[in-house]
Amino acid sequence: MLKINPPTSWLLAGTTTISALVLTTLPLLTLQAQSSRVKPAEILNAHNKYRTELKVPGLTWSDEVAKSAQEWADNLAATNSFEHSGTNYGENIWQGTANAYTQTQMVDDWGSEKKDFKYGTFPDVSKTGEWSDVGHYTQIVWRNTTEVGCGLATSQNGDDILVCQYNPPGNYEGQKPY
């Protein structure tokens, strides 16, 4: 029987600061380039569906941002880790059983946070009182974000990891999402 792991998501808000990133030496790994697995049109459509509902201009695909996202997805897959990159981009990370979810379903997992969203000034944007319950969604619809790029990799544990990075980032304290 095939076990399908439920997806896991993490977010990086514009208000988060990472003061240091320490890299350790890793054994040399041979990784197959997986950028061809990313479906930019599908991912853009999934993101822009949420933005269109709010009359927020659609995102465009950035190859530069996608390159950064792919590098981070490859790193997470190689190290079996699940953490944010610390780049200057906004970032949503998703993880679930390899080949069990479409890229639209991956983005829709973040978009499902809409149910807990309340319009307000960040971080007071969640019906639950926790902005982290809606932070993926607010990054998707953040009015000042204009570009997205994503990378997809499969971990040694058999999970797909989708990293989407956003330029400029969203989730800024004291600002409204749109």
**What's residue 7's pLDDT?**
59
* First and final C-alpha spacing in the chain: 45
What is the model's pLDDT at position 8? 59
pLDDT of residue 27: 34
Render each residue's pLDDT in the chain as its tens digit; 178 residues. 434 555 555 454 443 322 222 233 333 333 344 457 999 999 999 999 999 999 999 999 999 999 999 999 999 999 999 999 999 999 999 999 999 999 999 999 999 999 999 999 999 999 999 999 999 999 999 999 999 999 999 999 999 999 999 999 999 999 999 9
Tell me the HSE value of 38 on the side-chain side, using a 13 A CA sphere. Answer: 28
CATH of domain 8-13+36-167: 3.40.33.10
Closest C-alpha among 33, 1, 48, 8 to residue 162? 8
Domain boundaries along the sequence of the chain: 8-13+36-167
Cis peptide before 27 (omega within 30 of 0): no
